[in-house]
Chains A and B, each alone.
Chain A
Amino acid sequence: MFESIEHTIARLREQQYICDRKLATVAFLALQMQKPILIEGPAGVGKTELAKVVSAALGRSLIRLQCYGGLDEAHALYEWEYGKQLLYTQILRDKIGGLFEGIDGLREAVARLDLHEDVFFSERFLVRRPILQAIDSPDPVVLLIDELDRAEEQFEAFLLEVLSDFQVTVPEIGTVKAKTIPYVIITSNNTRDLSDALKRRCLHLFIDYPDEGRELEIVRLKVPALRELLAAQVVAVIRRLRALDLRKAPSISETLDWARALVLLDADALTPELLDETLHLLVKYERDTQRVNEQLAWIAEPIQAQPQSMSSEAALTPPQRPAEPDTNFLEQRRQEHAARYFTNYRGRTDGRTGGA
């Protein structure tokens, strides 16, 4: 159990997960209020990881449901095991025959069979999918519903009953109520808006990239083999990369991968050459690579600088690109000039000229 916010922070730290107070407050409240957490944020900031460490910290098992397009309730909630039902009917044929001994008349036989109908639609023939598993488990579990935004909107509707009342309705059996309340964590990469009904039932948490101090702490904790100086340099470079407007900013997991790679390469300190050679671990799009190469000198600044001066930087803004003589501009001006005299082109219908 998490006893207080401070206790939550400490327990998560034991599991090598460094979080801020904000996150800990939500994690603590979710347990206290028995409410699901909905986590949004960019990829690779530790959304899924949180579920893993919470399950470890609470000593509960983790049940994971990875969402994808086309996921339906047969894969998430439950499914009937038709094959097994059929097999049982075949094997038990004699027994079923015995059931009707001494009965004459179809009506009576059906009535008799009716008494045993529930045998074949019992939980025995139910395949438990992750959500039903989580609800039905005798010990409380952590249920991770990963990347819910990938599933269709209709699927969200199935979750509503589970999330608010912790029960699942199986038409043939009835309502399966939770024996223990699972700790539910839902993650979303925000590729689409989740429905209000779902959001209403959850505590909402937005995780962003950590600040420099926390990230340094994470790197030191996760990659202890990395030298102190190098760790500071790694974090400073990553910060600068994120300040560049990249299509895919390096995430925490990529930072850690890079740090591990540097350990493997047995680097003492980051040099501009080393940075250049290992950059592809961090930058994954061609356009991003170009942009980074343009700004390489600026990114490499903290490598040369003394480590003390790094922490003092307030706001990171990459230097403006030197204004290159714009040949298009002249061309454009010439065309504009021409357009001013060109009055009856068909693009305009209101008789005005010039920009509007």
Chain B
Amino acid sequence: MSARVFGVGELVREVNAALAGTFGEVWVKGELSGVKVAGSGHRYFQLKDAEGTLSCAMWAARADRLRYKLADGVAVLLRGTLEVYPQRGSLQIIVIEVRPEGKGELQLAFEQMKAKLEAEGLFAAARKRPLPALPQRLGLVTSSSGAAVRDVLKVLSRWEHLSVLLYPVRVQGKGAEGEIARAVRYLGRYGEVDVVLLVRGGGSLEDLWAFNEEIVARAIATCSVPVISGVGHETDFTIADFVADVRAATPTQAAEIVVQRLEEQERRVEDGAAAVHLSIERRLERARLRLHALEGSRGLARLEQRLKELNLRLPRTESLRQRLRSLVGSRHRRLEGASAALFHWPVRFGAPRRRELVTVRVAVAVERLRSLVRRRGLELGARERALEALSPWRVLERGYSITAREGTADTPIKDAAGVAPGERVVTTLARGALYSLVTGRAGEQGELFETRGSSAEQTNEAGRTPKPEPRGPGRQGREP
């Protein structure tokens, strides 16, 4: 029997050709184990299940494109070609593609990154920095177009005193993670901001991927000011959210956190101010109540009544006092003029001793006058005015006249019966006087009662019939 004898290498080649012909590309599922990265960057690992093990090799060029990390225990579905490695003669799969089993590779990548950073302590609550008391200067990292920036600015516009510095970045696509990381670092270092908002609107896991990248997570973790993240919708969690000091569900929410902080601070201030005022008012109210209780006693009630009366009187008293003061003032000036004259008298006519005596007397007299003036001030003022109104000269100005017998000019004639015809009388007018001879008399009210027919020889140049004397001047009886 003649059997075909192969060379080793030849046989391996034949086997490989047969494997390729029979299987071509295969899909195999199993669990990764013994994953190793060679110096060349190629990955070597075992694919296992309950019944068997297969060696796998994945070249660096392909493996590097994976979002997640090939790790032991990961259930995968992989595609590759079967071959026998000639140097060792062992069967292996040259892997073209590896898919995590039961979940997307992004999901896996996310879980892996999360686990890794968590293990490092990057998400630890102790690392979270509190928001500043007054987050008034904001750094904003997001796209300059789209809903997120609009939503954020709309909410922020609620607070008047707030400045925003936007660092525009691409939020998805290749290289977005680098821009985001750079922006976060930059604003922390140079932006002169109190807090950084890192936001992006909703999207698929793929769209949001940049926020799951390690470089972004590291930038957030090392940013010099607190970072608020608001990426995607409520249900979306990114690595950035875990690292951020404050995680907001959405961009709007991130802005709300800032504005609400400011509003809360304002409320605290206003509450404090109100409480300060209120507590003082309460104290004063208590004091008032105590006072009311005391007012219940009759003595106090009387006192209060008295105070009210005095208060009412006060304005009147004030004006009286003022009038008095001006009156007394004018009289003082007159008295002082008079006393000055008196002081001079002894200087000119008397001996020194006598002068002293006189001086004392004058001083006493002046003082007496002053006190009299003080007491009578008001009265005097009123009388002075009345006197002025009653002055005969004022009456004469109105056309009245005063008639007296010749020689007794200071005794005005008030009764016609007291004068006989033939007597000579003097009539004083406002200007000048008339000398007349009485030729007849009449009774009261101008009614003739005697010698009506006798010829009048009055020399009244004004041609005026003398009127009955008004009461005023007659009563005065003084020399005008």
Verify that A and B bind, or say they do not. no
**Residue ranges of A at the interface with B (Cβ–Cβ < 8 Å):** none
